[in-house]
Chain A
């Protein structure tokens, strides 16, 4: 008993490099390396030549045969993909994804902030009902609704068009919950009362008092919805497959995979464009750049809002 007390006090206060601490650091570093090793190798493939990757040359993770000519070749192949009907379709896919992700993100903001405010600070019937529905929609994986959404969009003859995808992406219950928590914690009720006594209407209070103190919430909702929209696969797959030129990048990469001679020799035989691992990896790597950009922009907001942001599954 006494022995334990002495040892643990030392652990807690002096922070020596004892066996427990060394084990922890070594183990965590090992796991991190297991995570990083394939990532580094994968991004290296994007910068290597077809021949180099096929021959598995280049030393450790192939880093040795990274070259500018290889990148240029891969890029030219990606750009040439699409044929006459849909030239440089890769760029079209990127543009489509920017369109749905941005419009979806703006709709999510326009819907989430005022509704989060109303749910947190105003009293009305069905307040709790709407909150519970929002929580349920938030914890359910959004893919379970894709087939019903397809049936709905099909019923209005809009399958193959981008705008229904953008509108559906605007439904972002997690953003409503984030805003709700924000207004619940960051905005004192007295502020609302004071503004009311000054004669401001509810909408005016939201616009002039609540919104200006909500940069943090705006950044979080925008970030999470943009990332969710950018990486969404099943919804655009179901709503856009019929039309090659209106796909988003995630569905487009799937098309690249299926026309690669690596996985589908017969389909690839007919085209002059040969997409091997470097081309596929480069196309994938480029598609993650927007995520990197928004991550860097949103980083300072994310650190502070991390715990709240973490609730989404």
Chain B
């Protein structure tokens, strides 16, 4: 029962369906009515949790942005809020910051996911599953617990790697986090530890869907474990690697929790608008500029939606692309 096979079944219309539609119209009507009854609760939640907020954000984003002189001015503002968000000096910076983090993190992440997934896959039995479980633990703890783990790691006064930190010349966690150039590396390390386990399991799922015969045939042809991984398994999980890269890319764009909380730990020494999502949060909660906050989130939604469309229609994992 892999996602692969499940996904392959998505939206495959059969001729039988067309035939039945014409043969039993009353039964079809009952079926349609039943379908929408069963879908009811989900459609309501989809509207409340997805469609309406996006529509409303689009509407808010074309309203007039409040200014210091006219804090209560309302009405249609065209693309003014977008202009305001984009021309804000932090807009370019926050995207630049995200790109820096992605540049440091994403390549290491993908190599680590694929490498460890191949190693786990090459270790059948108890050893492999224990390792996979251990790699999974940090991700299972969740965002805030993970952050506390990092606070413990990065605070030179009691860190288990305090020797390393003091050798680097750090005495406080504020220094560690706020020293120029450290933040992208720390964020990359946090994201790596947090996400690795889950993605090893995912890519491992892809590896498990390779037919045994293929692997046996390669072994008989004289491939050793390394050649098997490099020449047989790797090409066969290409789409899973692409999936992992795209989803992690989308994840990177919305980064919020880690830089937001690290800033608190560093007593506010970091930029509080380090990432685009943080900037959107700033517009809403500090600037009280809802149109600019809405414009900011529409921009982020468009970026992640574009990545999502590629994943759903082009990754080959969901098989909705034919027709």
Q: Evaluate contact between A147 and B296: CB separation under 8 angstroms.
A: yes
A residues 157-213 with Cβ under 8 Å of B? 167-168, 170-171, 173, 176, 180-181, 184-186, 196, 201-203, 205-206
Q: Name B261's closest neighbour in chain A (CB-CB).
A: A254
Q: Evaluate contact between B148 and A284: CB separation under 8 angstroms.
A: yes
B283 to chain A, nearest CB (A): 8
10 shortest interchain CB distances as A-B pairs: A202-B34, A231-B142, A171-B49, A313-B247, A115-B42, A148-B53, A181-B6, A148-B57, A114-B38, A307-B205
Give CA–CA (A171, B46) in the complex, Å: 6
Q: Evaluate contact between B308 and A139: CB separation under 8 angstroms.
A: yes
Chain A, residues 279-301, CB within 8 Å of chain B (1/0): the string is 01100110110010001000000
When distances are taken between beta carbons in the complex, the residues of chain A under 8 Å from B254 are: 141, 143-144
Report 11 cross-chain contacts, Cβ distance below 8 Å, ordered by A residue.
Answer: A8-B224, A28-B116, A37-B160, A38-B152, A118-B39, A140-B308, A144-B301, A148-B54, A149-B49, A171-B48, A313-B250
Q: Evaluate contact between A35 and B138: CB separation under 8 angstroms.
A: yes
Is the C-beta of A5 less than 8 angstroms from some C-beta in chain B? yes
Given A122-B34, A308-B3: A1 and B222 interface contact (C-beta under 8 Å): yes
Q: Evaluate contact between A145 and B35: CB separation under 8 angstroms.
A: no
Chain B, residues 31-44, CB within 8 Å of chain A (1/0): the string is 11111111111111
Is the C-beta of A31 less than 8 angstroms from some C-beta in chain B? yes
Please tell me which stretch of B65-73, B91-99, B196-204 contacts chain A, meaning at least 4 of its Cβ atoms lie within 8 angstroms of it: B196-204
Is the C-beta of B131 less than 8 angstroms from some C-beta in chain A? yes
Q: Is the interface of A mostly helix, strand, loop or mixed?
A: helix
A27 to chain B, nearest CB (A): 7
Please tell me which stretch of B76-84, B100-108, B119-127, B180-188 contacts chain A, meaning at least 4 of its Cβ atoms lie within 8 angstroms of it: B119-127
When distances are taken between beta carbons in the complex, the residues of chain A under 8 Å from B46 are: 133-134, 137, 171, 173
Q: Evaluate contact between B247 and A139: CB separation under 8 angstroms.
A: yes
B residues 226-277 with Cβ under 8 Å of A? 226-227, 244, 247-248, 250-251, 253-254, 256-257, 261, 264-267, 277
Q: Evaluate contact between B1 and A185: CB separation under 8 angstroms.
A: yes
Give CA–CA (A171, B9) in the complex, Å: 24
A4 to chain B, nearest CB (A): 5
A residues 250-298 with Cβ under 8 Å of B? 250, 253-254, 257-258, 262-264, 277, 280-281, 284-285, 287-288, 291, 295
**20 additional A-B residue pairs with CB within 8 Å, beyond A143-B254, A277-B152, A311-B317:** A11-B225, A29-B131, A35-B134, A38-B160, A39-B138, A114-B41, A117-B38, A127-B11, A135-B10, A146-B297, A148-B56, A171-B50, A185-B5, A185-B9, A196-B27, A203-B34, A233-B143, A310-B202, A310-B205, A311-B202
Given A131-B320, A250-B142: A54 and B208 interface contact (C-beta under 8 Å): no
Is the C-beta of A36 less than 8 angstroms from some C-beta in chain B? yes
Give CA–CA (A173, B42) in the complex, Å: 9
Given A42-B148, A233-B144: A152 and B53 interface contact (C-beta under 8 Å): yes
When distances are taken between beta carbons in the complex, the residues of chain A under 8 Å from B50 are: 133, 137, 145, 171, 173
Q: Evaluate contact between B224 and A11: CB separation under 8 angstroms.
A: yes
Give CA–CA (A242, B174) in the complex, Å: 27
Give CA–CA (A131, B318) in the complex, Å: 10
8 Å CB contact of B318 from A7, A11, A135, A205: A135
When distances are taken between beta carbons in the complex, the residues of chain A under 8 Å from B87 are: none
Q: Evaluate contact between B222 and A147: CB separation under 8 angstroms.
A: no
8 Å CB contact of A167 from B43, B45, B247, B285: B45
Q: Name A235's closest neighbour in chain B (CB-CB).
A: B49
B305 to chain A, nearest CB (A): 7
Give CA–CA (A147, B256) in the complex, Å: 12
When distances are taken between beta carbons in the complex, the residues of chain A under 8 Å from B219 are: 8-9, 12
Give CA–CA (A254, B148) in the complex, Å: 10
B-side interface size class: 35 or more
Q: Evaluate contact between B248 and A25: CB separation under 8 angstroms.
A: no
B156 to chain A, nearest CB (A): 10
Q: Name A306's closest neighbour in chain B (CB-CB).
A: B201
Q: Name B4's closest neighbour in chain A (CB-CB).
A: A307
Given A184-B9, A307-B1, A308-B1: A4 and B224 interface contact (C-beta under 8 Å): yes
When distances are taken between beta carbons in the complex, the residues of chain B under 8 Å from A146 are: 297
Is the C-beta of A45 less than 8 angstroms from some C-beta in chain B? yes
Is the C-beta of B176 less than 8 angstroms from some C-beta in chain A? no
When distances are taken between beta carbons in the complex, the residues of chain A under 8 Å from B205 are: 306-307, 310-311
Q: Name B264's closest neighbour in chain A (CB-CB).
A: A258
B137 to chain A, nearest CB (A): 6
Is the C-beta of B111 less than 8 angstroms from some C-beta in chain A? no
Please tell me which stretch of A68-76, A84-92, A104-112 contacts chain B, meaning at least 4 of its Cβ atoms lie within 8 angstroms of it: A104-112
Give CA–CA (A107, B148) in the complex, Å: 30
Is the C-beta of A155 less than 8 angstroms from some C-beta in chain B? yes
Give CA–CA (A231, B220) in the complex, Å: 47
When distances are taken between beta carbons in the complex, the residues of chain B under 8 Å from A295 are: 140
B residues 139-195 with Cβ under 8 Å of A? 140-145, 148-149, 151-153, 155, 157-158, 160, 162, 173, 193
A16 to chain B, nearest CB (A): 12
Is the C-beta of B110 less than 8 angstroms from some C-beta in chain A? no
Is the C-beta of A24 less than 8 angstroms from some C-beta in chain B? yes
Given A25-B127, A123-B17, A131-B10: A254 and B1 interface contact (C-beta under 8 Å): no
Give CA–CA (A12, B232) in the complex, Å: 15
Give CA–CA (A262, B148) in the complex, Å: 13
Q: Name B3's closest neighbour in chain A (CB-CB).
A: A311
Given A11-B224, A107-B45, A150-B284: A281 and B39 interface contact (C-beta under 8 Å): no
Given A107-B45, A136-B308, A201-B30: A288 and B142 interface contact (C-beta under 8 Å): yes
Q: Evaluate contact between A144 and B297: CB separation under 8 angstroms.
A: yes
